[in-house]
Structure 1
Amino acid sequence: MDAEKLYLISEVEGYSPQIGRLLSMMNYARCTTLETVRDLTISQLDYLHDSDSNSIGALLFHIAAVEYAYRTWTFEERDLNYDERQFWEPGMKLGDSGRERIKNNDLTYYLSLLNEVRTKTLEYFSNKEDSWLDIEKPFNNKPSNNYFRWFHVFEDELNHRGQIRLIIKKLRNA
């Protein structure tokens, strides 16, 4: 990510124009997420405000899981296979499963996961033209297109980044 261009929604070299603009928005969302979690410890990543809460680590895992799933659905046009579901489902569903299975990882683990998923996503986007964004498929039984689906990926990340900021604030006040 070019920090100088972080606040410009513009074309990105190596990508068609509209895909580049979409990636500009995704890059900004990711940069702000990474800045929010910088230097967190394992205990901070695993902190649960109450028995129904998700940890920061689980939310980071969720962000990676959502991008992985949408990449599989939109680029590969398939559902997750058994092995993928076994790994990603606790992050997709969160709740009890996430609390039980997503913990005791350091920040490097989550950052690596986010980076691996994003690197592959960028690879897939580099092979598409803007017209791919307009391909329509139902989403929650409503008409949608790939543009919306990928907007939803980073919109979901921004939502959870807000939750992460709230958890950090509660941690500091605890």
Structure 2
Amino acid sequence: MDQIYLITDIQGYTPEVGRLLSMMNYARYTTLEAAKNLTTEQLDYLMDPEGNSIGALLLHFAAVEFAYQLETFEKRDLNEEEMLIWGPALDLGEKGRQAIRGNDLTYYVNKLNEVRTKTYELFKTVDDDWLHLEEPFWYGKQANHYFMWFHVFEDEINHRGQIRLIKKKMNTQL
């Protein structure tokens, strides 16, 4: 994190993989800053009955990253056992509102770190050519691994906006 504002090579990774990780690291840094010091009550807060909590969004980031590890490295979807663990966080909605609550910030940060550590390990096994491999993706379109992993942190950045909005709303109501 010493070079958080640099999109640069990272020792132990090929150049483009390292730069991708640099972007992912910055996105995660800003997410953790947005969630810093939140209490369990704040992590569980819902702006409206159909909304997502900050805690659910944090676990969603870990779930999406886990799902893309499986998709891009193992070429498979989550199995039944993995869906029991990650399904509510992937899908959010009512399942997420029911299942994801009562956890402190350390719980979510640990889940995020656990999944990211695995991503670091997996990325050491591939090179820049791997990022450019194309496969069928959404809606019958082709996508490469670069795009798929861009989407992992693009989704996090998008939902981080929700976290900031929830915090503003929460500060006026709690």
* TM-score, with length taken from structure 2: 0.97
Equivalent of 2:23 in 22, 25, 31: 25
**CA distance, structure 1, for counterparts of residue 30 and residue 91 of structure 2:** 23
Residue number in structure 2 paired with 1:142: 141
Q: Which amino acid aligns with 2:141?
A: K
Give deviations 1:7-54, integer Å, cap 9, x for gaps.
111111110000000000000000000011011000000000111100
Distance 1:24 1:146 in 2: 16
**Counterpart code for 2:76:** R
TM-score, L = length of structure 1: 0.97
- 1:61-101 per-position Cα deviation (integer Å, ceiling 9, x unaligned): 10000000001100111111111011101000000000000
Letter in 2 for 1:153: V
Distance in 2, matches of 1:22 and 1:58, equals 25
Q: Which runs of 5+ in 1 are unaligned?
A: none
Deviation at 1:168, TM superposition (A): 0.3
Question: How far apart are the structure 1 equivalents of 2:136 and 2:50?
Answer: 31
Identity score, percent:
61
Pairwise CA RMSD: 0.6
AA aligned to 1:104 is G
> Counterpart of 1:172?
171
Q: Return structure 1 stretches of 4+ with deviation > 2 angstroms.
A: none
Cα shift readout 1:85-119 (whole Å, capped 9, x = no counterpart): 11101000000000000000000000000000000
Q: Tell me, which stretches of 5 or more residues in structure 2 are unaligned?
A: none
